[in-house]
Amino acid sequence: KNEGNGHFSPVSFPEIEIYAYHFATAAGTFGRERSPAFADAFYMSTHEPRVAHAAGITLYVWKAGAWQRHRVWRRKDAKTLEYALAMGDLDGDGLDDIVFPDSEERRLKIFFQQPDGSFVEASEREEPTLDSPGQCVRLADVNGDGKLDIVLAKTVSSSRPEDPGGWEVFLNRGTHAAGRALCPKDDRRAYFSVFCLDSRRSRAEDALTTGTEHVPT
């Protein structure tokens, strides 16, 4: 909790999915009133009454003095973990959407927030395919057209050494699947994070990536 004087103090959060591992969060807003919210990527497992695994995305919304929990996506018997997550208004309707790379399906999943508070996944043809597991995803306007594009850092899986890794940009042209932009060709490098900022004040954000090289690029 921000005390307002430059100091933060820990507080409990009983609303969180318990008995789960939490790998990624992304801040955003919920509803037309733009209530504070954050998305959380989790993975849970149980051994009783049987061994079971599940991964999912949950949205937590601060409203009327309390946290509300909204289930966005869930997969039983998940084989991969979700390390990357982003929130932002992709379709310009004033509602924040959710983006994350599904490394099991090798697809970049996009969930559009609806006026009734639900989330609807984009059609398969609108979701870009991936050649490597996603490690970090950001939403940024990289070409200065006022629309949020998707910037994705990818890693190399130990079980699939043929994965190229690298990073990609998906331009917002009505469908991100059709807007795959050219990025530097990579020699099977794993990227761990990517940050976007308009460092040159050109209205087009640049990308700073960190990976298996010693120097950020």
Percentage, residues of the chain above pLDDT 90: 44
pLDDT digits (tens, 9 = 90+) for 18-27: 888 899 999 9
Q: Structure pTM?
A: 0.84
Average pLDDT for residues 37-52, to the nearest whole number? 84
pLDDT digits (tens, 9 = 90+) for 158-211: 777 788 888 888 988 876 555 666 555 554 566 666 767 666 666 667 766 666
Measured on CA atoms in the order 23, 210, 102, 25, is the torsion positive or negative? positive
Concatenated DSSP letters for 183-195?
A: ----SSB-EEEEE
Q: Tell me how far CA of residue 94 lies from CA of 30, 33, 65, 152, 183, in angstroms.
A: 10, 10, 23, 23, 29
Lowest mean pLDDT among 24-28, 34-38, 141-145: 141-145
Where exactly are the structural domains of the chain?
20-211
Average pLDDT for residues 115-119, to the nearest whole number? 94
pLDDT digits (tens, 9 = 90+) for 64-89: 999 999 999 999 988 888 889 999 99
Domain 20-211 has CATH 3.10.20.810: no
With a CB cutoff of 8 Å and minimum separation 6, the contacts of 46 are: 19, 52
Residue 215's pLDDT band, with cuts at 50, 70 and 90, is very low
Residue 142's pLDDT band, with cuts at 50, 70 and 90, is confident
